[in-house]
Structure 1
Amino acid sequence: MRFAISNFPLLLIGLTCYSLATFAQTQDPLITSMRKADEARVAMGSVPPWMGVSQSGEPTGYTVELASLALKNMGAPALTPVLTAWEAMIPGLLARHFDLIGPGLVITEPRCRVVVFSAPMIAMHDALFVRSGNPSNLENLRQVTETPEIRLAVVTGSSQEAYVLKQGIAFERLVRVPDIEAGVAVVIGRRANAFVVGQFSISKPEQKGLEVVVDKSTPLSGIGAAFRKEDIRFRDAFDKQLDLLRTNGAWKNLIVKYEVPNWDMLTKLKRASHVVPSCE
């Protein structure tokens, strides 16, 4: 038994090296392009502590560290963050302004028609962020939809915007914002009664004067990295590295470091199709 345990890390190292060597030998076009440029250009938004860019220009956050580990094990160069508006990320990827989209977009069926996603790195339901005390007594998105006087903030181009429009909320009742920080500001400034976004998207909301109301009737959402469809082999190799990071404890260490919820769920969501079956 002692022999098996002592050699387990060596086995994992061997598997990682084998995976890297096998992938490198295929001369994948994307990693070849990254190595030639000596950088991996990654579209990123600002969602601290999950994703962001430091004042010195360094990419930071839980999903960034996790993606960096996977890419490093694949032999990719260091990440170069490209701060990008959420609604501009997929068009920018298809126009080759960057190599991939960092793990910040929700995996959805319409998005899967044009890009391929990695396994989820965050899993959550949508939630309403309201002022402390919940002055409008909101309980879920259905109530918001059915209450004409309620104004709802959404990030432009987000999965939440698409969802509430599909649920029938009037277009003119939406307050569109470019990012999460702006969504917080419009609620605190009383220009909207609530801001809908993923339940873990705002860190320590109580310190910002907000209260979170999780709507568990909304579909479970997964957030992953996104790649061009032509780079599906690269995505597959990336997912294999995530599998190894689950197994060797490195991913769990980041979960503990950043206090990420739902680890048990993330251990089961190993492909994009596990949250959206129609996705490749």
Structure 2
Amino acid sequence: MRVRSKLSLLLVALTGCSFPTSSQTEDSLLVSIRKAGKVKVAVASLPPYMMMSPSGEATGAIVDLHNMVLKRLGLPALTPVFTQWDAMIPGLQAHQFDYVASLAITEARCKQMLFSGPQYAYQLGLFVLPGNPKSLTSVADVARSRDIKMAIITSAAWMTYVLKQGVKSEQFVRVPDVQASLATVVGGRADVYIDSQVSIPSPEQKGVELVVDEQSPVFVSGAVFRKEDVRFRDAFSEQLHLLIRSGAIQDLSNKYGVANGHAEAELLARLTKASDAVPSCE
């Protein structure tokens, strides 16, 4: 009887383990991943967080972080699907990939999708020419000078904030990605590029100077999942949070030379789920 009792306790313990376990293999996304033998993840060009290595593989701080999470879940390293920013959510809804590596968490996006816990936190940075010839310290400064041209990625999550600060559409120089934005500022077609304060490693080596907009709110990004994949999202977020608490963000910031990586780690330490940043998110 004692042996049978111990066996029963062992079975209870095994079936109570966290994802993935035999009791949870009915999760549709996990079944799909197991069948395919790979995890297809939408990524975009965002050095040093997501980028293509010379050998054609995805690399970067976010890619490394996700591969750590996937390994903890007993899954293979991610298979990248390089995607334009504005095509990520439509592609996810169309099941072209299993999840999106990173998008800014916003109220509008949370109505459509699920986000993991925050993996990337920042205030806005103004990337200007060395010496800051226009003496810009905030987005509000740009709004007050209508002759200032601002490079900005069209789908940027902070577009609403920029407009609320009073920047006019005729001041925008719309660009497709970070690389194009820097070329626009260095080439003189724009006076400033707006992005996260940690988006560009070693900005001075790229011909620009970083000025942090201390007036801006804190923005956060996370991995993105379909609404029906809530169990996979929850398992992913649990492991992500454990990694962040272990100091993984600071280690990756050091590895990839992320500007102000210590500030990002401090911000993330106070956030565990998407609703901590955007209360309406699930």
**Matches of 2:23 and 2:280 in 1, distance apart?**
29
Q: Secondary structure at the match of 2:158?
A: helix
Match of 1:9 in 2: none
**Matches of 1:125 and 1:175 in 2, distance apart?**
21
How far is the alpha carbon of 1:246 from its aligned partner? Answer: 3.6
1:273 pairs, out of 269, 272, 275, with: 275
How far is the alpha carbon of 1:199 from its aligned partner? Answer: 0.5
Match of 1:232 in 2: 230
Question: 1:20, 1:73 within 8 Å by CA — same for their partners in 2?
Answer: no
**Matches of 2:22 and 2:221 in 1, distance apart?**
25
Question: 1:108, 1:276 within 8 Å by CA — same for their partners in 2?
Answer: yes
Question: 1:53, 1:81 within 8 Å by CA — same for their partners in 2?
Answer: no
Match of 2:93 in 1: 94
2:157 pairs, out of 151, 156, 159, with: 159
Q: Secondary structure at the match of 2:184?
A: helix
The reply on whether 1:203 has 2:205 as its aligned counterpart is no
Q: Secondary structure at the match of 1:113?
A: helix
CA RMSD, aligned part only? 2.1
How far is the alpha carbon of 1:251 from its aligned partner? Answer: 5.2
Question: 2:47, 2:60 within 8 Å by CA — same for their partners in 1?
Answer: yes
Q: Secondary structure at the match of 1:159?
A: coil
Question: 2:197, 2:212 within 8 Å by CA — same for their partners in 1?
Answer: yes
**Matches of 2:246 and 2:190 in 1, distance apart?**
45
Match of 1:79 in 2: 78
Match of 1:10 in 2: none
Question: 1:127, 1:213 within 8 Å by CA — same for their partners in 2?
Answer: yes
CA pair 131-251 structure 1, distance change in 2 beyond 3 A: closer
Q: Where in structure 2 are the equivalents of 1:123-142 lying within 5 Å? A: 123-142=121-140
| TM-score for the superposition, normalised by structure 1 | 0.88
**Matches of 1:165 and 1:55 in 2, distance apart?**
38
CA pair 250-24 structure 1, distance change in 2 beyond 3 A: farther
Q: Which amino acid in the other structure matches residue 128 of structure 1?
A: L
Q: Secondary structure at the match of 1:50?
A: coil
Q: Where in structure 2 are the equivalents of 1:1-280 lying within 5 Å? A: 18-22=17-21, 25-103=24-102, 105-248=103-246, 250=248, 253-258=251-256, 260-261=261-262, 262-280=264-282
Match of 2:9 in 1: none
Q: Which amino acid in the other structure matches residue 56 of structure 1?
A: S
Q: Which amino acid in the other structure matches residue 227 of structure 1?
A: F
How far is the alpha carbon of 1:194 from its aligned partner? Answer: 0.3
**Deviations 1:152-205, CA, capped at 9 Å, x for gaps:** 000111112232123332212101100000010100000001000000001100
Question: 1:100, 1:226 within 8 Å by CA — same for their partners in 2?
Answer: yes
- Higher mean alpha-carbon deviation, 91-100 vs 244-253, is at 244-253
Question: 2:244, 2:268 within 8 Å by CA — same for their partners in 1?
Answer: no
**Matches of 2:75 and 2:36 in 1, distance apart?**
11
How far is the alpha carbon of 1:248 from its aligned partner? Answer: 4.9
CA pair 132-252 structure 1, distance change in 2 beyond 3 A: closer
Number of aligned residue pairs:
265
- Which structure has the larger Rg? 2
**Deviations 1:72-113, CA, capped at 9 Å, x for gaps:** 22232331111111111111111111111112x211111111
Question: 1:126, 1:196 within 8 Å by CA — same for their partners in 2?
Answer: yes
Q: Give unpaired runs (5+ residues) of structure 2.
A: 1-12
**Matches of 1:24 and 1:179 in 2, distance apart?**
43
Question: 1:205, 1:211 within 8 Å by CA — same for their partners in 2?
Answer: yes
Q: Give unpaired runs (5+ residues) of structure 1.
A: 1-13
CA pair 252-181 structure 1, distance change in 2 beyond 3 A: closer
**Deviations 1:211-258, CA, capped at 9 Å, x for gaps:** 111112111011111111111211111011113324555555434433
Q: Structure 1 vs Structure 2: percent identity of aligned residues?
A: 48
**Matches of 1:82 and 1:255 in 2, distance apart?**
23
Q: Secondary structure at the match of 1:129?
A: strand
Q: Secondary structure at the match of 2:79?
A: strand
| TM-score for the superposition, normalised by structure 2 | 0.87
**Matches of 1:25 and 1:96 in 2, distance apart?**
21
Q: Which amino acid in the other structure matches residue 44 of structure 2?
A: G
